[in-house]
Amino acid sequence: MEKYSGKAIPEGYMRIGEMAKKAGITVRTLSYYDKEGLLPTLTKSEGGYRLYTDKDMVKLIQILMMKQLGLPLSEIKKRITQLDTPEDVRKMLTEQATQVRNKIGILTESLDAMEALNTEIAQMETVNFKKYADILLNLQVKNENYRMIKHFDDEILDMFRERIGWEKTALIAATLHDLYKDAVELVKRAVPPENEKGQAFAKQLWETLIELSDGDIDMMFKLQELMDKASSIEDDNNEERMSIRHYMNQALEGYHISICIGTDKTAALLNYGMYSHNKAYMLYKEGAAPESEEAQKFIKTFWETMLELTNGNIDIITQLSEYAKKAESQSEKIAISRRFTEAALEIYFSNQGKGSKGD
């Protein structure tokens, strides 16, 4: 170790106190780094004062930066580089910058996750640590549908946790997101849901829902209900989103029916459904009563056509009626036409029964 005589500090050197003050640490810390060999003092004054150079300061800053990154002193000691050439300095700074960027990325993700969880908790009525954990796990696998978790019950969440897993759920959810964008495009281009392209879309949507629900049909319908609920709650442009969801439901309706009666009859059935809604609404607007001759003539044709197009499958007709009920929130016109049609049908069936008794 080199020593300097005299009380004056040689040019280019600083005492331990000055070094510690500039670095914002204590003299005790610097002494500890010296003792552990992280920043050994190579020069002392005649009075025994440790002397440091600007090069030592750069090394100290390097140590402090690595310490901020959470590295233990034993690891820092291995990483202390020789700073003898510009290349050495640049290499050290490049490595440090990479480590800092990685740390920033980790901290940013952690902050985003905390803020996202905080937002979700604010919308939940009770403390539910399982849901909190599920939200955090979905954030880890980059599943943007984590916002829907607060709407799920324990049955669905158990299915995701145990039977599917959150990573696979994230992949399927991403597919659903892409399908939603496809639906937006189909609506923009005014492609009817019963069209070949609309039905191809419905087939892919249905198969994705089957995979998401692990083949559990009851669970699949429950998922559809939850998707509808989340859509109505969370989207700023609620009216537009609901119209897209309505299109997706219409396409699925057509797809389900086509499995029973074939594609051609399904298209004809959906087209006739639109015509009959318009006809019933027109009769209502013209002031016709459900029991009027004109209304009963229309309803007789309506019922006979529906029986023919569904091959007499009453379940399908009932299913279409249920779909119309769900669509009432979308259109006042549909609500009016459905109520008019049901009233006219009730009278028609009543008259049919009276006719049977009379015969």
CA dist., res. 76 & res. 288, Å (int): 89
CA dist., res. 280 & res. 299, Å (int): 9
> pLDDT truncated to tens, each residue of the chain (359 aa)?
555 554 567 788 888 899 999 999 999 999 999 888 888 887 777 667 788 988 889 889 888 888 887 888 888 887 777 767 888 778 878 887 888 888 888 888 888 888 888 888 888 878 888 888 888 877 877 766 677 677 677 777 777 777 667 777 777 667 777 888 888 899 899 888 878 888 889 888 888 877 776 666 666 666 666 555 554 544 455 667 777 877 887 788 778 777 766 666 776 777 777 788 889 989 999 999 999 999 999 999 999 988 888 888 887 788 777 766 665 555 677 788 888 999 999 999 998 876 543 33
What's residue 359's pLDDT? Answer: 39
The answer, as to whether pTM is greater than 0.75, is: no
Using DSSP's 3-state secondary structure scheme, residue 43 falls into: strand
CA proximity to 47, closest of 16, 13, 6, 87: 6
- Please answer whether residues 33 and 19 qualify as being in contact, where contact means their C-beta atoms are separated by less than 8 angstroms: no
Q: State whether the Cα torsion 181-182-183-189 is positive or negative.
A: positive
Exposed/middle/buried for residue 197 (C-beta within 10 Å: 0-12, 13-18, 19+): middle
Q: Where does CATH 1.10.1660.10 sit in the chain?
A: 2-80
Task: Measure the CA angle with vertex 97, ends 94 and 100; round to 5°.
Answer: 155
CA dist., res. 198 & res. 34, Å (int): 74
CA dist., res. 186 & res. 188, Å (int): 5
Residue type, 79: R
Tokens of 344: 């006219």
Task: Give CA separation, 70 vs 65, 101, 237, in Å.
Answer: 9, 14, 45
Using DSSP's 3-state secondary structure scheme, residue 222 falls into: helix
When the candidates are 1.50.10.100, 2.60.450.10, 1.10.1660.10, 2.50.20.20, the CATH number that belongs to 2-80 is 1.10.1660.10
% helix, strand, coil for the chain, step of 5 = 75, 5, 20
Exposed/middle/buried for residue 50 (C-beta within 10 Å: 0-12, 13-18, 19+): buried
Residues 142-179: b if buried by 16+ CB within 10 A, e if exposed: ebebbbbbbbbeeebeebbbeebebeebbbbbeebeeb
Per-residue pLDDT of 161-173, as tens digits, reads 776 677 777 776 6
